[in-house]
Amino acid sequence: GLVLGIETSCDETGVGLVRIDGNGRVTLLANEIASSVDEHARFGGVVPEVASRAHLQAMVPTVRRAMATAGVRPRDIDAVAVTAGPGLAGALLVGVAAAKAYAAAWDVPLYGVNHLTAHVAVDTVQHGPLPPALALLVSGGHSNLLDVPDLAGRITSIGATIDDAAGEAFDKVARLLGLPFPGGPHIDRMARDGDNAAIAFPRGLTGPRDAPFDFSFSGLKTAVARYVEALERVGRPIPVADVAASFQEAVVDVLTAKAVRAARERGMDTLLLGGGVAANSRLRALAQERCAAAGLALRVPRPALCTDNGAMVAALGAHLLAAGAKPSDLDLPCECVTAF
Ligand code: ATP
Ligand code: MG
Ligand code: FE
C-alpha cells in the first residue's frame, strides 16, 4: 500500500509518502518539509497564528512536491494519514482539513494519528519492522518513556516530565546564552567545544525516593540561569561552550539512565529514541554507550527523521493500514491533548 502522510502540529508543514509491503517493510518515497521556523525566530518561540497561516500557504504546494518527488499520481495512493494531535489547534486544523479533502477526493481511507506515536513509528522507515521496545520520546513539548508492544497496538506512557520538556529546556537555556531559536541544535554545536564536566548542574528526580521514570528539567534550567546571572553580576565572561556542554550532559545523563533502566525492568531488548531532541549528538552517543553496556539494541532514526516531518505520519498510517485498523471518520476532530 502507498500512504501519504501530512504533519502540521507545530511549525513544519510536512508531507511524506511511503510504501509498505506484505512483510511490513516500509520504503520512504518522499519527505518534503516547508518550515515557518524563520518567521518565529524573532519572537523566540512559535506563534500559533503565524504557524497556521504558513501551513495554509504551504499545504498544497508541499503535497504536490512530495508526489512529484516520488513520481506518484493520485490514483496510486491507497490511504491518507494525518496528525490529529497533540499540537497547536489552528495548525492541526489545516492538516486535518487538507487530509480529509484528499481522502474524500481520492476515495481512500483516512487515518488520524497521534503525533508522538508517529515520532516512534518513523524509525521503521530506516531500520525495518520494530520489535516490542521501550521508547524515549523527547521533543519540544514532550518527554516520555513509552512501552511500545506494537505500533498498531496499545502504547502506554510509564513516565513523563513533571514540568518542562527536554526540548523546551534546550530552547530556554539557549535563550539564556544568547543563542537563536530553536536552541537545541545550537547547544549541540556549542557543546562540542566545551567541557561537559566543567559545571556540576543538578540531575532532576534522581534521588532514591523520586519517581524512577519521571523527569524534571525546570530546576536545571533555573540552575543555569543562576550560574549565568552570578557571572554577569561580577562582569565576568560566560563560558558559553562549557555551560552548553555541562547543561546538555545533565539532560542526556538522566534521559539515558532512566531509559535504560526502564527497558531492563520491563524486560525489553530494544531501546528506541524519537522526537526532535533525539537528533542531539551527545544523547545519541551516550545512549549507544549505555545500551551496549546493558546489552540492549539501540534504534535511533537519522536526525532529519527525528524532528517533525511528514514521513513519520505516513509510516504510522502505513502500519495501521497493514494491520487492518479501522479508518477515521471524515468528521475526525483535532485532539489537542496528549493521548496515545
Ligand atoms: P512535540 O513533538 O512535543 O509536539 P515539536 O513538534 O515542537 O514537539 P520536534 O520537531 O519533535 O518538535 O522537536 C523540536 C525540539 O527538538 C526543539 O525543542 C529543538 O530545540 C529540539 N532539538 C532539535 N535538534 C536538537 C539537537 N540537536 N539537540 C537538542 N535538541 C534538539
Ligand atoms: Mg519545529
Ligand atoms: Fe514533534
Per-residue pLDDT, 340 = 62
Residue whose C-alpha is closest to residue 151's, from 268, 332, 338, 323: 323
ipTM of predicted assembly, 2 dp: 0.97
Is the pLDDT reported for residue 339 higher than 60?
no
Is the pLDDT reported for residue 127 higher than 90?
yes
Q: How far is the C-alpha of 246 from the C-alpha of 325, rounded, in Å?
A: 45
- Environment of ion ligand 2 (residues, CB < 5 A): 10-11
Q: What is the pLDDT of residues 48-62, one digit of tens each?
A: 999 999 999 999 999
Mean pLDDT across 296-317: 98
Average pLDDT, whole number, for the chain? 96
142 is in an annotated binding site: no
277 pocket-lining for ligand 1 (C-beta < 6 Å): yes
pLDDT band for position 154 (cuts 50, 70, 90): confident
- Window from 34-43, 275-284, 313-322 with minimum mean pLDDT: 34-43
CB 105 within 8 A of CB 68: no
170 pocket-lining for ligand 1 (C-beta < 6 Å): yes
Is the pLDDT reported for residue 227 higher than 90?
yes
How many helices, marked H, and strands, marked E, lie in the chain? Answer: 12, 10
Residue whose C-alpha is closest to residue 137's, from 287, 272, 284: 272
217 pocket-lining for ligand 1 (C-beta < 6 Å): no
Per-residue pLDDT, 336 = 61
184 pocket-lining for ligand 1 (C-beta < 6 Å): yes
Model confidence, pTM: 0.96
Q: Residue 72 has which C-alpha cell?
A: 506518484
Is the pLDDT reported for residue 228 higher than 90?
yes
Find the DSSP H helices in the chain.
37-41, 48-70, 89-106, 115-121, 123-127, 166-176, 184-191, 218-233, 240-265, 281-294, 303-306, 311-322
How much of the chain, in percent, has pLDDT values that exceed 70? 99
Task: Return the SS3 of 1.
Answer: coil
State the amino acid at position 25 in one-letter form. Answer: R
Q: How far is the CA of 194 from the centre of ligand 1 (A)?
A: 22
186 pocket-lining for ligand 1 (C-beta < 6 Å): no
Per-residue pLDDT, 338 = 52
Which of ligand 1's atoms lies nearest the C-alpha of 115?
2
Phi-psi category of 89—alpha, beta or left, where left has phi over 0 and alpha has psi -120 to 50?
A: alpha
- Bridge partners, 111 (sequence order): 81
Mean pLDDT across 66-95: 97
Per-residue pLDDT, 192 = 98
Beta-carbon-side half-sphere exposure of residue 88 (alpha carbons within 13 Å): 21
Q: How far is the CA of 208 from the centre of ligand 3 (A)?
A: 31
Q: What is the pLDDT of residues 172-225, one digit of tens each?
A: 999 999 999 999 999 999 999 999 999 999 999 999 999 999 999 999 999 999
pLDDT band for position 153 (cuts 50, 70, 90): confident
Per-residue pLDDT, 337 = 57
CB 247 within 8 A of CB 220: yes
Mean pLDDT across 317-327: 96
